[in-house]
Amino acid sequence: MALYFISDLHLDPGRPQTLAVADRWLASIEPDTTALYILGDLFETWIGDDARDPAFDPLFVRLNDFKARGAQVFFMAGNRDFLAGPEVARQAGWTMLEEPTHLDCYGTRVALLHGDSFCTADPDYQRFRAQVRNPDWQRAFLSQPIARRRELARIARQASQSHMSQVTEEITDVDPEAINAFMRETGITCLIHGHTHRPATHEWVLDGTTRTRIVLGDWYEQGRILRWDAHGPNLLTVAPGSQ
Ligand code: MN
């Protein structure tokens, strides 16, 4: 029995290799897996369920197979796929998660987030995030024709790339103070998130208690997975072409 956590696959029909790695990995997971948690940025871009690319259909079939074997599939939106809605949830068979979600991992109280809400040293990004997470903004965006939405998403990606090239590594990483404030507020000892593409396990002491922050990695070069079983959490990689 195990729980799996992934994020930042950035699946894109233009990068079929990552789709293939994800497909092979999903097919190979042990049958007694309890749950798969997808913590955002599964897709490189998602401009509405009505604009879904058929290249993702095999992935949805695979996720449904996985569910049919008894595992639950959960999806939390990231900053690329915050417009993933009820229609894709139905197709993929996943349950949408609010951010943050708290769960018990073999006795450890864990909080799950995409991670971008902790990047508080970057006010420009936080302004953008507040705008696109606003339901009125989302409704207005989704009411545009698909071609127009595609164009707006392309412009937003360019603006984001140019912004990222102008700010330092510290600014685009999570803010340790924001992490500590969250841990104090919630009383949790372990946090799992993605977004920064800096996979690692960080441990430190806060208010006399050891805290753990597990950062999931992206899937640009290889599959990156957190597997948590009765022995604890483990960050793993899946090389392209391997099982
Ligand atoms: Mn992200």
The reply to whether 34 falls in a domain is: yes
Residue 204 Cα to ligand 1 midpoint, Å, equals: 24
Ligand 1 centroid to Cα of residue 62, in Å, is 23
Query: How crowded is the C-beta side of 179, counted as CA atoms within 13 Å?
Result: 24
Cα–Cα distance, 54 to 6 (Å, whole number): 22
- 224 CA to middle of ligand 1, Å? 15
Tell me, in angstroms, the distance from the centre of ligand 1 to residue 208's CA.
Answer: 31
CA–centroid distance, residue 142 to ligand 1 (Å): 20
Question: How do beta strands 101-105 and 108-113 pair?
Answer: antiparallel
Distance 74 CA to ligand 1 centre (A): 17
Per-residue CA distances from 194 to 9, 58, 95, 110, 169 (Å): 10, 24, 19, 14, 15
What distance in angstroms lies between residue 58's CA and the mean position of ligand 1's atoms? 23
> Residue 141's domain spans which residues?
2-238
Report CA(129)–ligand 1 centroid distance (Å): 11
Helix (H, G, I), strand (E, B) or coil at 186: helix
Report CA(138)–ligand 1 centroid distance (Å).
Answer: 18
pTM (whole model) above 0.85 = yes
pLDDT of residue 172: 85
> If you measure from the C-alpha of residue 41 to the centroid of ligand 1, how many angstroms do you get, rounded to a whole number?
5
- For 202, half-sphere exposure in the C-beta direction (CA atoms, 13 angstrom radius) is 15
The alpha carbon of 64 and the centre of ligand 1 are apart by a number of angstroms equal to 25
Q: Give the distance from CA 167 to its chain's centroid.
A: 23
CA dist 220 → 176, 210, 217 (Å) = 26, 32, 9
Distance, CA 211 to ligand 1 centroid (Å)?
A: 23
Residue 156 domain flag: yes
Block means of pLDDT (10 residues each) for the chain, 243 residues, are 96 95 92 92 97 96 92 96 97 97 96 97 93 96 97 92 87 93 95 96 97 97 96 93 56
Per DSSP, the chain holds a count of helices (H) and strands (E) of 8, 11
Cα of 80 vs centre of ligand 1, distance in Å, is: 6
Number of domains observed in the structure of the chain: 1
User: Which pLDDT score, from 0 to 100, does residue 243 have?
Assistant: 47
CATH of the domain at 157: 3.60.21.10
The widest CA-to-CA distance across the chain, in whole angstroms, is 54
State the Cα–Cα distance between residues 37 and 214, nearest whole angstrom. Answer: 14
**For the residues of 86-134, what is the DSSP string, one character each?**
HHHHHHHTPEE--SSEEEEETTEEEEEE-SGGG-TT-HHHHHHHHHHT-
The verdict on residue 170 lying in a domain is yes
Q: Is residue 243 part of a domain?
A: no
In a domain, 17, yes or no: yes
Q: For residues 112 and 75, is the Cβ–Cβ distance under 8 A? A: no
**Cα 36 to middle of ligand 1, angstroms:** 18
Distance 188 CA to ligand 1 centre (A): 22
How many A from CA of 33 to the centre of ligand 1?
26
pLDDT for position 153: 94
